[in-house]
Homo-oligomer: A and B are copies of this chain.
Amino acid sequence: MTARTPDSARDIPEATVARLPVYLRALTSLADDGTTTCSSEELAASAGVNSAKLRKDLSYLGSYGTRGVGYDVEYLRYQIAREIGVTQDWPVVIVGIGNLGHALANYSGFRSRGFRVVALLDADPDRHDEVVAGLDVRSFEDLESIVADNAVSIGVIATPAVAAQSVADRMVAAGITSILNFAPTVLSVPDGVDVRKVDLSIELQILAYHEQRKSVAPGTEVVS
């Protein structure tokens, strides 16, 4: 009964939080292969990180390993899932059922990772007849009631960039406090609301930058 982590360690570094889902995926993969125990070295290789970093990350959650042995795959998997909060399902709404919205709605990886799409919303009335992945596309006007009825706290924006800010505003007003934004625009939201963005073009541009650097031979100083 020493002063060890009373509830759960507070304030996990952001960089660690971003890696926990990767560890979770690696552990699930190991469990599927029938592995019951693994060392930090094996798990780190599986997750593509340094083993020292992995151990440090895990130490923020508590001491779930056994020295000289390693980690119990299933036990660690549960502990990480609990820490992230994906032991229960999170209801999610997707707004903007165009090209990307369709792909997201049909994506099975949601369900298996602790998220449940409860509604698909679009502003275009022509879309409202459609049924995608077993859900019918509903009017954006239904946002507030859907959020309230299903206790939704996570929203996904897949509308064109010009509409994204107004959609975000409506989401926030409706009570959503976490937004995943696929539109290529900067959203401004009040304190207390988290926004994460996924921007394909930015990723490609970063690759292009490094690619351009490769083509000029390394060490070639064009001086003359």
Which residue of A17, A104, A211 has the most chain B CB atoms within 10 A of its CB atom?
A211
Residue in B closest to A158 when the chains form the complex, CB atoms: B103
CB distance from A205 to the nearest CB of B (A): 4
Which residues from chain B contact A90 at a C-beta distance below 8 Å? 204, 208, 211
> Is A109 an interface residue, CB under 8 A from the partner?
yes
A198-B203 contact given A102-B103, A221-B7, CB 8 Å threshold: yes
Given contacts A25-B184, A25-B185, A86-B205, 14 further A-B contacts (CB under 8 A): A17-B206, A17-B210, A18-B202, A48-B186, A84-B205, A85-B208, A85-B211, A90-B208, A102-B103, A113-B205, A153-B211, A177-B211, A180-B207, A198-B200
Which residues from chain B contact A62 at a C-beta distance below 8 Å? none
Interface hits, A83-134 → B, CB 8 Å:
83-86, 90, 92, 99-100, 102-104, 106-107, 109-110, 113-115
A205-B107 contact given A46-B186, A48-B186, A153-B211, CB 8 Å threshold: no
> Is A223 an interface residue, CB under 8 A from the partner?
yes
Which residues from chain B contact A199 at a C-beta distance below 8 Å? 21
Interface hits, A114-172 → B, CB 8 Å:
114-115, 153-154
A209-B85 contact given A203-B180, A204-B115, CB 8 Å threshold: yes
Which residues from chain B contact A17 at a C-beta distance below 8 Å? 206, 209-210
Q: Is the CB of A208 within 8 A of B103?
A: no
> Is A56 an interface residue, CB under 8 A from the partner?
no
Cα(A186)–Cα(B25), bound, Å: 10
A203-B196 contact given A103-B103, A184-B109, A222-B7, CB 8 Å threshold: yes
> Is A20 an interface residue, CB under 8 A from the partner?
yes
**Residue A196 contacts which of B106, B114, B207, B212 (CB distance < 8 angstroms)?**
B207
> Is A30 an interface residue, CB under 8 A from the partner?
no
Q: Is the CB of A99 within 8 A of B103?
A: yes
> Is A67 an interface residue, CB under 8 A from the partner?
no
Q: Is the CB of B99 within 8 A of A102?
A: yes
A196-B206 contact given A103-B102, A106-B99, CB 8 Å threshold: yes
